[in-house]
Structure 1
């Protein structure tokens, strides 16, 4: 499981994206912190002083005669100018420099600037007021055709204290912001990645469902990312080639088996008509074995194509009894008893009757071959399964994985065969969506067909 997650595309995308975000945010945070720690504090003081001056200018109110009468401060600013009346000051002046309006701590007419008012507009100057250093910003305000000036002053000590209060929590805020942003991004990315990779999972499920019985299926490229489409297209092309090769193989099997049947029949007839031929029984045995293999090849070619099946209502018990009757002569010849354990009521199902007959015939025939003389083969039928149990030596556990492979025969097999019977059974079971299982018992083997 760990190896799966390590190699997972979803996990790799998630880790890469989260890592990229974390690195980016860390770099931005580092730049911000570097700026706060290394840039001169005067830069922040200038910005803050100019901002305060513009706020005062926008809040300046005039009477009907056009004379400044008040500055409409908000509650916070009013409290600051009252509480720190000696540290925060403002004045409104006319063009001659006379004070028309001032805060409580700036009621004197002493000049805050040594030069002309117009020479220092919009910039911060360092001046001394009442023996203390102040940062002063002067702005010009036009009311109609009359110019007025507004001056905002804050002591250097006050500005540094306020600036420190604002800057000090910034590193901690940046750190928490970085952490929270990474967590939120990681959680949302999980759903995003699942959404993006959904077409791949759909394609994977479709590919897993493809079997020799439905080689005509093709994977859809709808919604698949452009980078993945060439892989899906190549896979579909490979399926087309595989389907064509499989069809050619099945056609060859059917044609070859069909063409072999007639010559074998003729050969057997010619041998029967030639009294001088020696070892006829041995020749007949070989011809019959070859004929059986040819029939199995024909069956294999037929059951490998789903269109060859004709589904209908089938009584399982009737089919089982037909199989037992068909193999009764073989069982009697070997002195093996065939026993059917079936319910009295009909047990119907949807299936191809011929295919079910072939499946059960192959299994029961194998059971007869494996059962010793005077043994028995039991065929049990219920609503969901058909079980065939013999009294043979059983199947070696190491042979179980190869049991249904084409042309495979157990190394210690005691009877003739081509190794195709169980392969045919498997193809029929797959075409009907049945489950074919094998159990090795204390005595014998049990084949179970589950519907």
Structure 2
């Protein structure tokens, strides 16, 4: 069961896809973790500074002469500059570096940077203000023909606090997000693989239903992926060749058997009319055996083709009675008693009456052949089966696997035959979906035909 599960295409696709996702997420997580651990300021702190500078630039209000006179900030941003004025500051400068607007206490600071404003615009500088380390963000703001500059200063202490506050939840969110993504992807992929591989399962199911009796079936190409279509075409072509070869074989078998039947009858008649032929009885016996083999070949050809059956409601007890009556003379000649027992009136089954007759006849005839004189062969018919028991020497265990093979005869067999009788029985049972079993008894053998 485990090997079958491991060889499953669905499982392989699922495992491969989930493994690929897991590796991709692991690599992405490693890259993100490396970036946060080695460049936390660039990943988190810079974003805060840039965002503050942009908000200040967007909130600038100018007078009629184009000079900035006030700043309108969002409540949250304004609150931050008011709450921690020593850690977070801003200034609005003109092109000469004169302070035009500033946050609380920032106007008293000395110039934050001695570098040219145009040169440092768009970047971040690390400076000291009143002996404390700060990061300065400078943003160029053109307005009309004039150019102004917005600078924000964030202390290293506040920057580290912001980074620490943001990294802590990220360390929890990332693993949880990966786990949820893996579970969701695994469940979704299961349904996806099931839907994608449905045409292959249906094709496999159709292929499993193809038997020597059902060679006309072809696998459908509906919904089959393009990569599998050539395989389905090749399989259907192979079925066509197999069907043709099987039909030719059956036609040859039937034709040969039919053509041999008439010459054998004529030969037997000629021998019977010649009184001076030596060993006439031996010749007649050989001809009868050949005729019997020919009849069995005809039966085998017939039961190997499902279209040769005519199904209808059949009473198995009536058929068994007909067989017993048909073989009663042979049983009497061998001093064997035939007994027919029934549990009720016998079931009505859906079958070909002639085929059921041949099946019971072949088994019962074999039972008569192997049973010694002054013994009994019994036939039991109940609602679900027909059982035939003899009192012969039984069947060796090593012979059981070959019992229903065509032309096989036991090495110690003492009666004439071609080894086709039980093969015919097996073909009939397969055509009707019956179970044909054999078991050795303390004395003799029991054959059972189960109808369900």
Q: Does the 8 A contact of 1:98 with 1:109 survive in 2?
A: no
Report SS of the residue matched to 1:380: strand
Q: Does the 8 A contact of 1:438 with 1:446 survive in 2?
A: yes
1:238-257 aligned at under 5 Å gives the runs: 238-257=238-257
**Bigger Cα displacement from structure 2, 401-410 vs 35-44:** 35-44
What corresponds to 1:392 in structure 2?
Answer: 392
TM-score (norm 1): 0.89
Q: How far, CA to CA, are the matches of 1:438 and 1:105 in structure 2? A: 107
* 1:287-328: CA deviation from partner (whole Å, max 9, x where unpaired): 111111000000000111111111222222221111111101
1:301-316 aligned at under 5 Å gives the runs: 301-316=301-316
What corresponds to 2:367 in structure 1?
Answer: 367
Report SS of the residue matched to 1:213: coil
Q: Which blocks of at least 5 consecutive residues in structure 1 are unaligned?
A: none
What corresponds to 1:437 in structure 2?
Answer: 437
* 1:130-172: CA deviation from partner (whole Å, max 9, x where unpaired): 3323222233546778765433211133224433443466566
What corresponds to 1:71 in structure 2?
Answer: 72
What corresponds to 1:17 in structure 2?
Answer: 17
Q: How far, CA to CA, are the matches of 2:60 and 2:349 in structure 1? A: 95
- Count of matched residue pairs: 450
1:8-87 aligned at under 5 Å gives the runs: 8-39=8-39, 41=41, 45-60=45-60, 68-75=69-76, 77-87=77-87
1:16-415 aligned at under 5 Å gives the runs: 16-39=16-39, 41=41, 45-60=45-60, 68-75=69-76, 77-92=77-92, 101-108=101-108, 110-114=110-114, 117=117, 120-141=120-141, 149-167=149-167, 170=170, 173-343=173-343, 345=345, 347-415=347-415
Q: How far, CA to CA, are the matches of 1:392 and 1:25 in structure 2? A: 74
Q: How far, CA to CA, are the matches of 2:366 and 2:17 in structure 1? A: 60
Q: How far, CA to CA, are the matches of 1:182 and 1:238 in structure 2? A: 43
What corresponds to 1:419 in structure 2?
Answer: 419
Calculate the aligned-residue CA RMSD, in Å. 2.9
Q: How far, CA to CA, are the matches of 1:6 and 1:43 in structure 2? A: 44
Q: How far, CA to CA, are the matches of 2:435 and 2:313 in structure 1? A: 19
Q: Does the 8 A contact of 1:63 with 1:69 survive in 2?
A: no
Deviation at residue 187 of structure 1 after TM alignment: 3.8
Deviation at residue 195 of structure 1 after TM alignment: 2.8
Q: How far, CA to CA, are the matches of 2:117 and 2:7 in structure 1? A: 72
| Counterparts in 2 of 1:115 and 1:230: CA distance versus 1, 3 Å | closer
Q: Does the 8 A contact of 2:331 with 2:338 survive in 1?
A: yes
Q: Does the 8 A contact of 2:436 with 2:448 survive in 1?
A: yes
Q: How far, CA to CA, are the matches of 2:14 and 2:212 in structure 1? A: 37
Q: Which blocks of at least 5 consecutive residues in structure 2 are unaligned?
A: none
Q: Does the 8 A contact of 1:404 with 1:423 survive in 2?
A: yes
| Counterparts in 2 of 1:65 and 1:380: CA distance versus 1, 3 Å | farther
**Bigger Cα displacement from structure 2, 208-217 vs 313-322:** 313-322
Q: How far, CA to CA, are the matches of 1:43 and 1:419 in structure 2? A: 87
Q: How far, CA to CA, are the matches of 1:39 and 1:93 in structure 2? A: 30
Q: How far, CA to CA, are the matches of 1:45 and 1:287 in structure 2? A: 107
Q: Does the 8 A contact of 1:203 with 1:220 survive in 2?
A: yes
* 1:66-93: CA deviation from partner (whole Å, max 9, x where unpaired): 8644433344x45533442211112345
Deviation at residue 404 of structure 1 after TM alignment: 1.2
**Bigger Cα displacement from structure 2, 306-315 vs 182-191:** 182-191
* 1:206-236: CA deviation from partner (whole Å, max 9, x where unpaired): 2222111111111222222222222222222
Q: How far, CA to CA, are the matches of 1:343 and 1:131 in structure 2? A: 112
Report SS of the residue matched to 2:192: helix
Q: Does the 8 A contact of 2:36 with 2:43 survive in 1?
A: no
Q: How far, CA to CA, are the matches of 1:436 and 1:135 in structure 2? A: 92
Q: Does the 8 A contact of 1:91 with 1:152 survive in 2?
A: yes
Deviation at residue 368 of structure 1 after TM alignment: 1.2
